[in-house]
Amino acid sequence: MLTDAVERYIQLRRVGGYKFDVPARLLRSFAKFSSDRNDARVCAATAIAWAAQGSSLEARHVRLQTVIGFARHCRAEDPSHELPPSGVFGGRNYSRHPVAFIFSSAQIALVLDAALKLRPRASLRPRTIHTLLGLLAATGLRAGEALRLRRADLTVDGLLIRETKFRKSRIVPIHATTRRALKAYLALRTRIAGDGAHVFVGMDGERLSLAAANAALHEVLAAVGLATARRGKSPRLHDLRHTWAVRALESSPREVEKIDRHMRAVTTYLGHVSVATGFWYLHSTPLLMKRIADACAANEERAS
């Protein structure tokens, strides 16, 4: 049955260093859908019918592309698996990177101030969201990394980020002001919510969920007039990480021999597996694009 093949494929991808959580969930759903239709192998018609259940055109495209990748893997050993066509849902080349919103320093200050005014006012929630958003802005952590933090992860060397997107752990150094803010929050969190293991907790005292963090961010953005600032859409928690990365790259030294070292430091801090991943952030602000254009022009002049 497809269920066994899906589990082997998921394991293979994870051994290769991929976290693979969302594709795994999708493929398990597809395997169940196929089983209900008594399909023992990948069937193109079944794949299209399952993908069509996606909530948007892009979601349907992603679902189908996920099955296509799985089908290609299966066909290497058994050509009887069908390969679904890729252009069923418009054939668009959806970007892997949604449009990012880059916060200004003033906007981040407004967001943090508004977080302290969240309701219920007498609860831990305002301080939790304020500290979480401040940490994301100050360190560029992924939202999931911050939400998984435990008390023991605040070490003398920085934050211990365990088993991240690429299944690696790293130490993230933090500024003294960030450390003080975390310690002050933890002291308050202990008095109100007890001595639990996780740093950020929700209203139930358990680890704060991503859904709850996103909902709080949307409340805050609406309060400061930024609810549609990302080209008509709401900025995301990930945009705080994106903002940190862009500002870090903007601070790069101008000397050519130092740029590579700076890029590698930023890449390592962010937890990327390669320097190439960080180049996505170069396209995010006019300042960075101007520097790239100036460097290209200078190279052309030297070559001529």
Closest CA to 227 of 303, 63, 236, 65: 236
Last residue of a domain, one of 235, 269, 294: 235
What sections of 43-104 are H helices per DSSP? 44-51, 57-75
Look up residue 272 and give its two tokens. Answer: 């990327």
Please state, in angstroms and rounded to a whole number, the distance separating the CA atoms of residues 51 and 221. Answer: 33
User: 66 and 114 share a domain?
Assistant: no
User: 119 and 223 share a domain?
Assistant: yes
Report the range out of 13-22, 99-108, 138-147, 281-290 with the highest average pLDDT: 138-147
User: Which entry of 13, 189, 241, 247 is annotated as an active-site residue?
Assistant: 241
Q: Among this protein's residues, is 125 annotated catalytic?
A: no
User: 149 and 177 share a domain?
Assistant: yes
Q: Among this protein's residues, is 73 annotated catalytic?
A: no
User: 115 and 230 share a domain?
Assistant: yes
CB 259 within 8 A of CB 253: yes
User: Which entry of 19, 165, 179, 207 is annotated as an active-site residue?
Assistant: 165
Domain assignment of residue 54, yes or no: yes
230 burial level (CB within 10 Å; 0-12, 13-18, 19+) = middle
User: 247 and 222 share a domain?
Assistant: no
User: 295 and 226 share a domain?
Assistant: no
Residue 273 confidence class, pLDDT cut points 50, 70, 90: low
Compute how many other C-beta atoms are within 10 angstroms of the C-beta atom of residue 103: 22
Is the pLDDT higher at 167 or at 45? 45
Domain assignment of residue 68, yes or no: yes
Please state, in angstroms and rounded to a whole number, the distance separating the CA atoms of residues 230 and 97. Answer: 13
User: 150 and 199 share a domain?
Assistant: yes
User: 192 and 120 share a domain?
Assistant: yes
For the chain, percent of residues with pLDDT exceeding 70: 81
Which amino acid is residue 120, in one-letter code? P
Domain assignment of residue 90, yes or no: no
Q: Among this protein's residues, is 60 annotated catalytic?
A: no
Last residue of a domain, one of 23, 53, 75: 75
Domain assignment of residue 93, yes or no: no
Q: Among this protein's residues, is 61 annotated catalytic?
A: no
User: Which entry of 142, 198, 242, 247 is annotated as an active-site residue?
Assistant: 142
Please state, in angstroms and rounded to a whole number, the distance separating the CA atoms of residues 144 and 249. Answer: 23
Give the pairing type, strands 158-161 and 170-172.
antiparallel
* pLDDT beyond 90 at 269: no
Compute how many other C-beta atoms are within 10 angstroms of the C-beta atom of residue 161: 22
Please list, in sequence order, all residues whose beta carbon lies within 8 angstroms of the beta carbon of residue 160, skipping any fewer than 6 positions away.
152, 153, 154, 169, 171
What's the average model confidence in pLDDT over 8-18?
A: 81
User: 260 and 227 share a domain?
Assistant: no
Residue 251, pLDDT score = 81
Closest CA to 269 of 251, 257, 256, 287: 251
User: 178 and 161 share a domain?
Assistant: yes
User: 26 and 62 share a domain?
Assistant: yes
User: Which entry of 238, 262, 264, 291 is annotated as an active-site residue?
Assistant: 238
* pLDDT beyond 70 at 102: yes
Domain assignment of residue 98, yes or no: no
Q: How many domains does the chain have?
A: 3
Domain assignment of residue 176, yes or no: yes
* pLDDT beyond 90 at 254: no
Domain assignment of residue 19, yes or no: yes
Element (H, E) at 155: strand 154-155
Alpha carbon 77 to its chain's center:
34
Q: Among this protein's residues, is 242 annotated catalytic?
A: no
Please state, in angstroms and rounded to a whole number, the distance separating the CA atoms of residues 125 and 277. Answer: 34
Q: Among this protein's residues, is 180 annotated catalytic?
A: no
Element (H, E) at 121: none
Question: Residue 281's domain spans which residues?
Answer: 241-303
For the chain, percent of residues with pLDDT exceeding 90: 62
* pLDDT beyond 70 at 83: yes
Last residue of a domain, one of 180, 204, 235: 235
Contacts by 123-130, CB closer than 8 A, 24 or more apart: 123/192, 123/203, 124/188, 124/189, 124/192, 124/193, 124/201, 125/202, 125/203, 125/216, 127/185, 127/188, 127/189, 128/185, 128/189, 128/200, 128/201, 128/202, 128/208, 129/213, 129/216, 129/217, 129/220
